[in-house]
Structure 1
Amino acid sequence: MDRHSFQQANRTSAGNAPPAPAPKRRLPRRQSITARLVLMSAASALFIFALTGIVLYTVLKGELLRHERDGLVTTLNDIGYQIGRAGSTERWERVQLKLAALSQADQRVSFWISGADARFRYGDQARLNPAAITPDSNTVGMLKIPGKEYPLHIMTRTMPAFEDRPEVYVTVGIDTEPYFEMRRTFLVSTLVFSLLGIVLAVISSYWIARAGLAPLRRMSARAQSFSPRKLSARMSAEALPEELSALAHAFNGALERIEEAYTQLEAFNADVAHELRTPLANLIGETQVALARERSAGEFKDVLQSNLEELDRIRSIVNDMLFLARSDQGEAATALVQARVADEVQKTVDFFEFVLDDAGMAITTSGDTDATALMETALFKRALTNLIQNAIQHSPVGALIRVDIAAQQDSVRISVTNPGEAIDPRHLPRLFDRFYRVDTSRHEINGSHGHGLGLAIVKAVARMHGGRAFASSEDGRNSIGFTISRS
C-alpha cells in the first residue's frame, strides 16, 4: 500500500468509526427498609446508651466525691478535737505521734499542720502548696504532689489559738488513686457494655425487621406474578397485618381500575377498528370496481364523490377521537364567555331548520329563558347539536322535540326530550360510552346513523365546563342532556 492509499484508508476508517458511547447515567442508590430500620435502631441504641452512660457516670462521680468529702470531714473532726486541746509542746508531741500512727495505719491519708510557730507544725511543709488551701471550706480541693501520678483530695480547717499554741491550719489529704481508678473502670465498662448492647440491638433489629417485613416481601412477590393476562387476580388482604391490609386494598382498587380501563381500551380499539373498517372497505371496494374496466370521466367522478363521503366520515371519527383524547387528559374549556343559554340554544335549533322540515318534526324551547352560564359557545353548540341529532334519529316522523333549560343554584341544566322507544334502565349509565349503542335495530330517520361518539362528546363537553351528563327514559319519552357551571 502506497502512502496516498494509506492516508485515504485512515481517513475512511476515522470517518466510519462509531461514536464514543455516552456515559451511563448513574442511578441513585436505593436503601432498603431493613437497612434503614437497622440504622435507626443503632442510632437510637447509641443515643440511649450514651445518655444513660453519661448520667450514670455523672452520678457515680458525684457520689464518689461526696464519699471522699465525708471521709475528710470525719478525719478533721477526729483530729480537730485533740489539736484544739493541745496548747503546750508536751501535748503537741502526743498529737504528732497520733498523726504519725494514723498515717502509718492508712497510707492513703496525709496530714499537714501549718502556723506562725514552727514548734506547732506537722508534715513536709514544702510539699504543701498554699494556693491549694481554702481554709474552713466544705469544698474538696486538689493538691498535686511531685512524683505522684494522682493528686490528693484535701480539706483545711482553722484551729484557733490555745494557751501557748498560736492559730494553726490543719490540712487532711486523701490519695485519689482509688477514686480515679474506679471512675476509669466504670467508664471502660460502660463503653464496652454499651458497644455490646448496640451490636445486640443491631442484630435484634435486623432480625425483627426481616421478620416484620416478611409479609411485605410476600406481597411484592405476589405483585410480581401479575400480568396483563391475569388482570383479574387480586391481592389477598386477610392474612396481612393491619398496616399492609390498607395497602393491599388500595393496590386491589388500582388493579380494578386498571382492569376496567384495559377492558374499555380493548373494547374501544375493537369499536374503532369496526367503525373504520366499514368506510375503508367501501373505499377499497368502490375503487376496485371502478378500476375493473374502462370508465368514463363522469363515472370516475361519481366514484370519487362517494369516496369523498367515506373519507369525510373517517375524518369525522378521527377528529372526534382526538377531541375525546384531549378531554380525557384534563383539557378544560378556555374561551369562556358569560352567555344567555336560550340564545345559544336558538342558534343551534335554527341550524336544523331544513332537516326538521324534511323529517316533518319540530323543536320547542321551554324553561328559564333568561338563564346565563359561563361557556365556550362553540363547544356548547357542538354538544347540543349532538343531542338534537340523536333525538331526530330516534324519533318517529312528525315528532315534537323539546329543549328544556332549567337554572339551578350553581349550574344550568339543558335537556333534549323526544318521543321514542323506551330505553332499558340498565343501558342508561352507558349511553355516554364511546361507540355504545343500545340496539342497532332501533328506528332511525332515513336510515341515517352516527358513528357512536356523539353522546361521549356531550359528556366530555359537560366535564370541560364543570358539569355532568345525564339520561332518563319514562312514559315513552327519552330525555338526554348535560349541565354547565353558571360561573
Structure 2
Amino acid sequence: MRNSIAIRLAAMFAAAALVAFALLGGALHRVLSGELARHQQAQIDGRLEDMAYMLEHGRAAGLGERIRDKLDTLGAADPRTRSWLASDDPAFRYGEDLPLVEAAITAGRDSVELPVGTPPRLTRMRIRGGELAANGARPAVRYIAGVDAEPFGDTLRTFETAVVLLTLAGTALAAALGYWIARIGLGPVQRLSADAQRIGPDDRARRLQLPALPRELSDLGSSFNAALDRLDAAYRQLATFSDDVAHELRTPLANLIGQTQVALARERNADALREVLQSNLEELERLRAIVADMLFLARAEQGVRARDLVASSIAQEVGKTVEFLDLLLDEAGMSVQVEGDAVAPIETSLFRRALTNLLQNAIQHSRPGSRVVVRIGGDERSAAVSFSNPSAPIAPEQLPRLFDRFYRVDSSRRNSGENHGLGLSIVKAVAVMHNGTVFARSDNGITTVGFSVALKA
C-alpha cells in the first residue's frame, strides 16, 4: 500500500483540495471581515448623523434634556449601539462610562472595553466621535457613538469554524473521491498486470490484448508485446543454440570415443596407435576451435569493442587474406577479383579474421573454377566490404539468419572439419565491435555477404 498509485493520487487530490479550500476560505474571510467592519462603521455613522442633526438644529428650551430623552429612545431600540455626550454643561453630558470613552477618543483609539450587563462583563465597543462649537442654544459639545463589536466577532469566529470544518470535510471527500476515481482509472493497468502475469514459459505466445487497452496504455502495451517478441525470439534462439552446441560437440566427442574404443579393442602397433592419435588430435583441434569461437562470441555479446585501431587499407587487408588462403583457392580452381578500396580504423587481427571467414564461406559455397568478387566502398560514415560468389539461391527469409550461430541453409547439418557454423556469426561480432553492421543478398544465383565498419568511433 505504501507505493500504491491510487493512494498517491488520492493524497494529491486531497492536497489540491486543501489548498483550494484554504485559498477560498481565506478570500471569503477577508471579504466577510471587511463587510462586518463596514457594517459596524455604517451603524456608528448613522448614530453620529442623528446626534449631530439634533445638536445642530435644536433651538428649543431644555434642549439638553430633550436630546438625552431621544438618545434613551434610540438606545432602547438598538441596545448594541450606544451614545455619549461630553460638555462642560452638565445638561449636555450623557452616557455611562463617559470618562472611559472620552479618554479613548482623546487618545485616538477606535475601540474601548466597557462593562456591560449584570453581573458586568467587559465587551469591546467600536467608537467614533465628533465635535460641535457652541451656538446660542447650547454650549460646545463632543458627541460619541459606539457599537458593540462582540456580535460581529462572534459571527466572524463562527464563519472561521465553519470554513475549517468544511475545508477538512472537503479535503476528506476529495481524497475519497480521488481514490475511487484513481482505482477506476487504474483498472486497465491492473488488467494489464494480470495479463502480463499469465505469460510464462509454457505460454510464451500469449500477448497483451491491445484493443482492450485505453489509448494512453496502447503504446506501453505495444512496447511490452514487442519486448515479449524479442524475448521469445531470444528464448527460441537460446534453445536452438543449446541443441546446436550439443550437436556440434557430440560429433567430435563421439569420434574420439569411438576411435579410442576401437584402438583399445585389440593390440595395436605403434603406427596404428599414431594414426589413431593423429585422428583424435584433429577432433580435439576442432573442439578447441569451437570453444575458442564460442568464447569470442560471448566476449563480443558482453559489449567488448575493438581496440588498438589502426587506419588501414581494406584492399591491402583483402590481399593478405587472399594470399593466406591461396592454397584453398588453388585447390578449388578459384580466383578473387578486388574492386575499390577504402581506408578505415580497424583492429587488424579481428578484421582479418572476419575477411578469412567470408572468403572461406565463399570458397565453400561456390562451384569449382568460380570467381569471387570483393567490392570495397562506403560513405562518409562507414566503409563496407562484400564477397560475391555464384551459389545456389537462398530464400529471402533465410538471409537474416545466415549470421546466427550454427545456422546452415542446408538443414541436414552436413559437417566438415573446416566448418562448424560459427564463421558468419564471428563476422557479425567483428562488425559490431567496430560499430558496423552485416548484410547478405542473393540475386540471380549470386550470393553477396559482407559487413561494414564505422569510420569514426
Same fold, judged at TM 0.5 (above): yes
Are 1:479 and 2:451 matched, yes or no?
no
Q: Deviations over 1:314-373 (max 9, x none)?
A: 1211221222222223322122122222222222222112222333222232213xx211
Contact 1:84 1:160 in 2 (8 A): no
2: CA distance, partners of 1:426 / 1:477:
16
Contact 1:155 1:172 in 2 (8 A): yes
Alignment partner for residue 143 of structure 2, among 124, 145, 170?
170
The alpha-carbon distance between structure 1 residues 142 and 305, as it changes in their structure 2 partners (threshold 3 A), is farther
1:89, CA displacement in angstroms? 7.6
1:116, CA displacement in angstroms? 5.0
2: CA distance, partners of 1:411 / 1:217:
47
Query: Which residue number in structure 1 is paired with residue 355 of structure 2?
Result: 384
Q: Deviations over 1:127-171 (max 9, x none)?
A: 315245577xxxx92211245343011122222332364543221
2: CA distance, partners of 1:211 / 1:426:
46
The alpha-carbon distance between structure 1 residues 134 and 32, as it changes in their structure 2 partners (threshold 3 A), is same
Query: Which residue number in structure 2 is paired with residue 265 of structure 1?
Result: 238
Query: Which residue number in structure 2 is paired with residue 350 of structure 1?
Result: 323
Q: Deviations over 1:226-272 (max 9, x none)?
A: 11110000111212222223322222122111111111111111111
Query: Which residue number in structure 2 is paired with residue 438 of structure 1?
Result: 409
Contact 2:375 2:386 in 1 (8 A): yes
1:441, CA displacement in angstroms? 7.4
Are 1:301 and 2:270 matched, yes or no?
no
Alignment of 1:216-365 (within 5 A): 216-365=189-338
The aligned amino acid for 1:93 is E
Are 1:45 and 2:3 matched, yes or no?
no
1: CA distance, partners of 2:4 / 2:324:
66
The aligned amino acid for 1:422 is P
Query: Which residue number in structure 1 is paired with residue 173 of structure 2?
Result: 200
The alpha-carbon distance between structure 1 residues 405 and 121, as it changes in their structure 2 partners (threshold 3 A), is same
Query: Which residue number in structure 2 is paired with residue 4 of structure 1?
Result: none
Alignment partner for residue 422 of structure 1, among 393, 399, 403?
393
Contact 1:394 1:443 in 2 (8 A): no
1: CA distance, partners of 2:22 / 2:383:
70
Query: Which residue number in structure 2 is paired with residue 25 of structure 1?
Result: none
Query: Which residue number in structure 2 is paired with residue 460 of structure 1?
Result: 429
Alignment of 1:403-418 (within 5 A): 403-418=374-389
Alignment partner for residue 110 of structure 2, among 115, 132, 141?
141
2: CA distance, partners of 1:172 / 1:280:
118
The aligned amino acid for 1:275 is E
Further displaced range: 61-70 or 343-352? 343-352
2: CA distance, partners of 1:132 / 1:258:
89
Alignment partner for residue 59 of structure 1, among 31, 51, 56?
31
Alignment TM-score, normalising by the size of structure 1: 0.86
Gaps of 5+ in 1: 1-28
2: CA distance, partners of 1:133 / 1:271:
109
Residue 101 of structure 1: SS of its match in structure 2?
helix
Residue 162 of structure 2: SS of its match in structure 1?
helix
The alpha-carbon distance between structure 1 residues 443 and 39, as it changes in their structure 2 partners (threshold 3 A), is closer
Count how many residue pairs are aligned between Structure 1 and Structure 2. Answer: 451
Q: Deviations over 1:90-137 (max 9, x none)?
A: 3122212211222233221211222455553322323315245577xx
Alignment TM-score, normalising by the size of structure 2: 0.91
Alignment partner for residue 77 of structure 2, among 99, 105, 122?
105
Gaps of 5+ in 2: none
